[in-house]
Structure 1
Amino acid sequence: MRYIIVFLCFQLCFFYVDAQRISIIPQPASIEERSGNFNVSSATKIIDNTGDSLVAETIQLFIKELQSLINVRLHVGNNVQANNIRIYINPNKISNVEAYQLEVNKDSIVITAASAAGVLYAFESLKQLLPVDIKASVKQYSIPCCLIKDSPQYAYRGMHLDVSRHFFSPDFIKKYLDILAAFKINVFHWHLTDSHGWRLEIKQYPKLTSVGAWRADRTGIPMTIAKPTQPGERATYGGFYTQEEVKDIIAYAAKRNITIIPEIEMPGHCTAALVAYPQFSDLNNPVPLLMPCGYEGDLKHNFCGGYDSTYVFLQNILKEVMALFPSKYIHIGGDEVRPEPWINCPRCQQKMREKGFLSAKQLQAYFTSRIDSFITANGKLMMGWDEIVGADIEQTSVSMSWHGDSKAMEAAEKGNVTVMAPYWYTYFDFYQSDPQLEPNITYARLQLDTVYNFNPMPAFFTNAQQHFILGGQACLWTENVTTPQHAEYMLLPRLLALAEALWTPQINKDYKRFIMKTELQFERFDKQGINYARSMYNVNIRPQFDSSAKAVNVSLASQTYQYPVYYTTDGTMPTTVSSLYLKPFSINKNSIIKVATYKEGRLVSKINTDTIVVHKAFAAAINMLRANDAFSRLTDGILGTVEPYDQRWVMITDSIATIIIDIKQQQALHDFSMRFMEEPVGYMYLPKSISVSVSADGKHYQSSFAINNTEKPQELRHIKTFSKKLHQEARFIKVEIHNASYNKIAEQNIMMADEIIIK
């Protein structure tokens, strides 16, 4: 085994040295390595042969950023014999406006591009060719000689940020843009409005920010349970961007070849605007119109689609937005519109009768088409989430597909182009490794390797259809992301994987090489004061019950796929002398598994832990009236995590669920326990009661005990264990679980049940 480890380390070290020499994210289309180095110092001159003012601005930006990186200031000069960086614009040689050629020789660097955007991206690649180890005392740095020919795979390479749920300062927005530009992201989708806050100054409607930008301070309370701002309660949490601040940010982005697309949500996700101007809300809504601080009160109100003054209000807002933002696209949201507010509204019902509409969906389509026509008439193009495809929209309008390939095909069939943002590849609010290792988890996982495998082009698109895909983007929703540091943690390093997915040709992608390059970026982030997640090192534990062997097979995997993973099964901390993971292993006794990744003998991951419980009901058969394969999880020995959707918990919706366990032989039974998860926002509640009875023959049962749950529901997600002594002998155990009835919906509550442990 020691020889295996030595061999692996040798391979990794060789690859690491190679990655250090030419390490650029996203991976360029073509790299030709050459011998020697170019030495950059304060004597190096930049020679601008373009006469292009935008190129001149780009050069000054590079000079400023380079000085902040290596404390060396370059200057623009005239033709000199050696040690210079020469810039050329040649659209005849390079046709793509963002493409570039970067030639590093021993005495010169030559950059050729079709536009200032290509020059900018050549500079971004050049900065990544600098050594990572920068010292203030060093005044000269070597750049490896090479020839790089590069161009993007997709024209649209976007990243989104939700600033409605939590406000982020202009300074942080600029830092965010710096990070995007470094990895050749060229679109910033700015989610400026939603139910929780209106963040853009609109001069004609000042209450949008004086009222709609603020809510009660619920700091420290998760949005899943935060109560709306109450009448008379001080609204002090929030903020907004003045139009002057927005202009400054737009100019800042433009210098970095980033287009900012503003999103103004309608006709749903708009409670903040309606609190400020309630006359444009639906009528007869039984839900009070209060500023949400969390999930409660969100998606309960729409802009009134039957009131013509609503459209005037929104058109006036859009006039200011379109005048402010140079982007040709204006994003209008259009997602998750609930029909109930319109069904109850007499103005909406009147409009539906006038138009002959039979459903609220038709009213939404009418609303979307009317806004679309207005935007188009004003020289802009509408963009919206893929729900807009259901409307009669202009062929110039753009769908943003968060539901994936099928919605992209639907748009293509109508002649509309799509930006791909399927949530299972691109929602950066999802957690990054096993949930117990991550902060403020949401309801799903999105690992680095998954983002890297994102391909915006649907596999079934024909060559003739491929032009309907503009590109792709990722989205950072911020319900659970409250600080700039956490936003950076959720953004990085997944942004790097996104960049490579959108820029680099599929044939040039290599995940192992990408990991090596990412590690070098970690060093750069440390020096630049940028936060990031190291979750790619964390080891995922994947236990799988083997019914035939009556054991649990355990597989382990980190997202790096290459560093040694060590584990223990006795609860001790894993070290480099612990078991080296080479293949799945089997467990048939009580075990506490602990796992970790080591690199060059150094711990680089968090310690992950899982528990396998082998007990008298372990692997026992489950009999239920409405049982399915999922119920076998109740005796598989595998405990659920803090995530209810981890495929370990069992969802029970019956009013009374009766579970019969056959342990195959009469045994002395001493202890019973069973775990449940509660989270009222997801309609998950603890049971009202649990009763247990036992039998020798499976026909005649003797009552053992009942456990009544007298606790009121707790708002925060938590796990509760119900346990009781047995002191009986039996072969069959019957467990009856009585559902509670806390919520006021027609369906039963959900009970999320875990292992039934019999000792």
Structure 2
Amino acid sequence: MFKKILFALLISQSLFSQELPLIPQPQSLRLLGGEVKTIAFAPEDLFSDLDGLNAFFDKKSPSVYSLGNPGSIEIRKSANFKKEAYSLKILADKPIQIEASDASGAFYALQTLFQMTSAQNATTLPCLEIVDEPKFQWRGMHLDCSRHFWSVHFVKKYIDYLAMYKMNTFHWHLTDDQGWRIEIKKYPKLTEIGSKRKGTMAGHYNEQRWDDIPYGGFYTQEQIKDVVAYAKARHITIVPEIEMPGHAVAALSAYPELACTFGPFEVEKTWGVFDDVFCPKENTFKFLEDVLTEVMALFPSEYIHIGGDECPKTRWKTCAHCQGLIKEKGLKDEHELQSYFIQRIEKFVNSKGRRIIGWDEILEGGLAPNAAVMSWRGIDGGIAAAKQKHYVVMTPESNLYFDRYQGDPKNEPLGFGGFVPIEKVYNFNPIPEALSVEESKYILGAQANLWTEYIATEKHAEYMVFPRLAALAEVDWGTAQPGNFGQFQKRLVNHMKLLDKKGVNYSRSMFGLSAKVSPFGRNQIMLEFTSADKNPEIRYTTDGSEPTSESPLFPGKIVIPDSEIFKAARFEYGKKISETTTQEFKFGKSTARSVSLKNQPSPKYSGDGAFTLTNGIFGDKNRFGRDWLGFSGTDLEAVIDLSEKQKVESVTASFLQSAGSWIYFPAEVEIFVSKDNLDFKSVGKISASDIEKAGGTITIKFKKQKTQYVKVIAKNTTKIADGKPGAGNAAWLFADEILVN
């Protein structure tokens, strides 16, 4: 009997601990039974004296620090805890007790207490004991202030958000082609000229529209000192980023003599990658060393981010100085010249007692001896760096780029493209399976990035960050369990009450509907919708009208037998609580048929696999999210099995072009047919110019004939031509639906 009672008590405590709105979830939480009255002051007051708290840990004595009403919280120093670790005890008839070895651990304990006392207007707290520490030492978030400039007020608010989730690194992206945002006293033209542009791209890159409204802004050195001190009080290190050798047009507009061609240049008002980069001349290195000297005087961080990504070699290939330097230094090519550039900067930064970190392109041509790598183009760069015993921060765009859509792109504010729902963030493991235990020690942690090409307002920025930031925090803390996303989701729903109180404009996309399609039978589609919580009330229509509380209930799954427009929304108690999801299906003889691919798409843009090409859905060309397959530097070669011999006479295929993202239409598309999947004959071809004229959605007609297999070969542009964004790099080919009729 006693065992049954104890077992029931443990279950109830476990359920209670899951319902506590704590994010990240603590490593260990033990409910002791009973409750106590909550502390008698506002939760925000927990952080009213951060300077005093930090000073307490800087002194050797005394050993107890009282916070709030006399004796309500006692903070004790203890050598028994690792850096950033803490314990929190809430006991009946006793002050709340916090123990830590350093101020950061105590600060995190207060954040835990803050979440407990503020999410639900709690008047009581459960008696409990928490023992907690982070798994990763780099728990980061990035903010791009070049494409769009953010006020000091918002930057501080952003830092507060990171602190709330026990994150400890703020990556401040301060320079790029579209604006130089940091005052450098020795080079005043960087802000006089480089911080201003004549206009800004309006809408998506594909629309090629711009406004003519002057745009600018920069941070003075005094403002930066203020923000650095603000972050330090919250145990957040700011890592500044000064881009080099690429993404340099804003700097070159101010000092054109640092380029290979001498310009003239203008600060870019277009998004993308540009050919004009820093030329590795002596005056360039002198300039960058001077800049970095002032930067390091402002930022005490161990690491200085020097960019290193997306540096076209176009100008270097035709620059007499660059070619002479390659010969003088015995370098193999322009990639090794970039490595020479980075290594020279590293030596200077190291001489000042600091270290560099850069995007994973700094691996190309040979990695600088002491450099750390930020792996963004997937995890392979991070794996390679860790195997070479270099420290790594994982930040793959497939899981941790917060400028990507998090819900149905049709219902989301404009984003860069791609699809990163909160579950994809939560399921990310910063330590790749390919690494040994010893190699995995070089993984410092993970970071998410917020690039702001399409994000111009604070509300939009918050929308893209929240609630994905909560999932990232749990990944970084080390308590995310991919198989347990549902439990995290329950805590998050409860935790959102805290976000409401703080006035955060968070996304509710996880409450929206996520469509999932799969083949059903020989020529039909199975459609299902998922949303937060089990068995949500979903209502739908198929006549083009908006769903209402009177519309039919969605039965969980439904078979789509033919072309139609399907609309659905989530309701609660008769009230619509989500945006309407519209899914149009266009059927042909290839719909829901089996597809085989010679080359597999990139894991970053893999959609629903090969089925993406025959699922009846044509993706949006301006809001390209999950409905596209992306191939980097390889052709699309797809064979569709029609299951039986049928008469066909046309093939429609859809391709995407977004030059700023290095996505280009195919060089050509050719159609083949076969009765046995062995002998194929060509029945039609379309050239690059005709694909361009058709806007990427092409129809190739041919003489009607019986066939069972249809092969589509779309030739990728092997290398992007000079003069185009991404010149010299492998092009992306994005393909969507293939419709055979």
Bin of the TM-score, shorter chain as denominator length: 0.7 to 0.9
TM-score normalized with structure 2 length: 0.79
Contact 1:456–1:469 at 8 Å: present in 2 too? yes
| 1:141 maps to amino acid | T
Distance 1:464 1:676, change over 3 A: closer
Matches within 5 A, 1:627-638: 637-638=616-617
Matched residue, 2:4: none
Q: Which has the higher contact order (CA 8 A, sep 6+)?
A: 2
CA distance in 2, matches of 1:665, 1:427: 44
Query: Amino acid of the residue matched to residue 552 of structure 1?
Result: I
Distance 1:402 1:353 in 2: 32
- 1: CA distance between counterparts of 2:156 and 2:470? 18
1:235 Cα offset (Å): 7.7
Q: CA deviation at 1:756?
A: 4.7
TM superposition shift of 1:341: 1.4
Aligned mates of 1:393, 1:587 — CA distance in 2 = 53
Distance, in Å, in 2 between the alignment partners of 1:113 and 1:196 is 44
Q: How does 1:227-376 map to 2 (within 5 A)?
A: 236-283=214-261, 289-295=265-271, 298-305=273-280, 307-376=281-350
Q: Deviations over 1:668-699 (max 9, x none)?
A: x9xx99685664636656999999xxxxxxxx
**Contact persistence 2:406–2:420 (CA under 8 A):** yes
Task: Indicate which of 585, 596, 599 corresponds to 1:612.
Answer: 585
Is 2:136–2:445's contact at 8 Å kept on the other side of the alignment? Answer: yes
**Match of 2:243, SS?**
strand
- Say if 2:613 and 2:737, in contact at 8 Å, map to a contact too: yes
In the other structure, the counterpart of 1:425 is 399
Counterpart in the other structure of 1:177? 159
Indicate conservation of the 8 Å contact 2:85/2:133, yes or no. yes
Task: Write the deviation string for residues 78-121 of structure 1: whole angstroms up to 9, x where unpaired.
Answer: 55xxxx1111111x232333434343535421111111111111
Counterpart Cα distance in 1 of 2:714 and 2:136:
55
- Aligned partners of 2:167 and 2:595: how far apart in 1? 53
Structure 1 residue aligned with 2:97: 110
Given that residues 628 and 735 in structure 2 are in contact (C-alpha distance below 8 angstroms), is that contact kept between their aligned partners in structure 1?
A: no
Distance 1:493 1:486 in 2: 13
Conserved 8 A contact 1:633-1:755: no
Any residues of structure 2 matched to 1:281-680 within 5 Å, and which? 281-283=259-261, 289-295=265-271, 298-305=273-280, 307-390=281-364, 396-505=370-479, 510-546=484-520, 549-558=522-531, 560=532, 562-564=534-536, 566-568=538-540, 570-571=542-543, 573=547, 575=549, 578-582=552-556, 584-598=557-571, 603-614=576-587, 637-642=616-621, 643=623, 646-647=626-627, 679=657
Contact preservation (8 Å) 1:102, 1:122? no
- Partner SS for 2:171: strand
2:193 maps to 211
CA contact (8 A) 2:541 2:552 kept: no
Report the secondary structure of 2:126's partner residue.
strand
Of 529-538 and 395-404, deviating more is: 395-404
Q: Report the more deviating stretch, 255-264 or 606-615.
A: 606-615
Shift of 1:444: 1.0
Q: Deviations over 1:506-558 (max 9, x none)?
A: 56983222112222232222222211111112222222345x52212223333
Residues 62-82 of structure 1: per-residue CA shift (max 9 Å, x gap): xxxxxxxxxxxx975655xxx
CA distance, structure 1, for counterparts of residue 389 and residue 713 of structure 2 = 54
Distance 2:594 2:44 in 1: 78
Distance in 2 of aligned mates of 1:248 and 1:106:
41
The one-letter code of the counterpart of 2:235 is N
Residue 24 of structure 1 contacts residue 125 of structure 1 at CA under 8 Å; is this kept in 2?
yes
Normalising to structure 1: TM-score of the pair? Answer: 0.77
Asked if 1 retains the 8 angstrom alpha-carbon contact of 2:525 and 2:592, the reply is: no
Per-residue CA deviation, residues 582-632 of structure 1 (Å, 9 max, x unaligned), is: 4x4432234332333445665433221212334678679999xx9x99999
Counterparts of 2:186 and 2:511, CA distance in 1: 51
Residue pair 1:21, 1:129 contacting (<8 A) in 2 also: no
2:63 corresponding residue in structure 1: none
Q: Call closer, same or farther: CA 1:721–1:647 in 2, change over 3 Å.
A: same
Q: Provide the rounded CA distance (Å) in 2 between the counterparts of 1:366 and 1:593.
A: 56
- Counterparts of 2:459 and 2:500 in 1: how far apart (Å)? 13
Inter-CA distance 96–678: structure 2 relative to 1 (3 Å threshold): closer
Judged with a 3 Å threshold, the aligned counterparts in structure 2 of structure 1 residues 576 and 451 are, in CA distance, closer, same or farther, namely: farther
Q: CA distance change for structure 1 residues 108 and 578 in 2, over 3 Å: closer, same or farther?
A: farther
**Change in 2 beyond 3 A, CA 1:505/1:396:** farther
2:35 match: 36
Matches within 5 A, 1:676-715: 679=657, 681=659
Retained in 2: the 8 A contact 1:214–1:235?
Answer: no
For 2:22 and 2:423, locate their aligned partners in 1 and report how far apart those are by CA, in whole Å: 18
What amino acid sits opposite 2:26 in the alignment?
Answer: P
Contact 1:283 1:347 in 2 (8 A): no
Taking structure 1 as reference, are residues 52 and 343 closer, same or farther at Cα in structure 2, changes over 3 Å only? closer
CA separation of 1:569/1:544 partners in 2, compared to 1, >3 Å: closer, same or farther?
farther
Q: How does 1:9-28 map to 2 (within 5 A)?
A: 18=16, 22-28=20-26
In the TM superposition, residue 342 of structure 1 has moved relative to its aligned partner by 0.7
CA distance in 2, matches of 1:601, 1:355: 73
For 2:81, the equivalent position in structure 1 comes to 94
- AA of the residue aligned to 1:524: L
Distance 1:710 1:51 in 2: 65
Whether the 8 Å CA contact 1:99–1:114 is kept in 2: the answer is yes
Deviates more, 1:673-682 or 1:591-600: 673-682
Paired letter, 1:475: N
Distance 1:440 1:45 in 2: 34
3-state DSSP of counterpart to 1:460: coil
Q: Report deviation, 1:309.
A: 1.0
Decide whether the 8 Å contact of 2:51 with 2:233 is kept in 1: no
For 1:378 and 1:149, the matched residues in 2 are separated by: 38
CA distance in 1, matches of 2:691, 2:432: 50
Paired with 1:315 and 1:513, the residues of 2 have a C-alpha distance of 50
2:73 is matched with 85
Instruction: Say what the alpha-carbon RMSD is for the aligned residues.
Output: 5.0
| 2:88–2:109 contact (8 Å) kept in structure 1 | yes
* Equivalent runs, 1:166-205 vs 2, <5 Å: 166-205=148-187
1:591/1:245 CA distance change after superposition, 3 Å: same
Which structure would you say has the larger Rg? 1
Distance 1:434 1:749, change over 3 A: closer
Letter in 1 for 2:309: D
* Offset at residue 212 of structure 1 (A): 0.5
CA distance in 1, matches of 2:44, 2:193: 53
| Structure 1 residue 158 displacement after superposition | 0.4
Contact residue 218 and residue 226 of structure 1 kept, 8 A: no
CA-CA distance at 1:731 after TM superposition: 7.9
Check the 8 A contact 1:399/1:417 in 2, yes or no: yes
CA deviation after TM superposition for structure 1 residue 343, in Å: 0.8
**Alpha-carbon contact 1:47-1:77 (below 8 Å) kept:** no
TM superposition shift of 1:482: 1.4
* Aligned residue number for residue 681 of structure 2: none
2: CA distance between counterparts of 1:756 and 1:260?
51
| Structure 1: distance between partners of 2:45 and 2:590 | 75
Report which stretch shifted further, 196-205 or 430-439: 430-439
Q: Determine helix, strand or coil for the equivalent of 2:75.
A: strand
AA matched with 2:96: I
Q: Give CA-to-partner distance per residue, 1:727-755, whole Å, 9 cap, x none.
A: x999899999999x9x9889999796756
The residue type equivalent to 2:534 in the other structure is Q
Provide structure 2 residue ranges, at least 5 long, that are not aligned to the other structure: 1-11, 59-65, 602-607, 672-685
Matched positions, count? 691
Say if 1:557 and 1:78 are closer, same or farther in 2 by CA, change over 3 A: closer
* Paired AA for residue 142 in structure 1: T
- Equivalent position SS for 2:202: coil
Instruction: For 2:574 and 2:355, locate their aligned partners in 1 and report how far apart those are by CA, in whole Å.
Output: 55
Deviation of 1:580 after TM superposition, in Å, equals 4.3
Whether the 8 Å CA contact 1:243–1:324 is kept in 2: the answer is yes
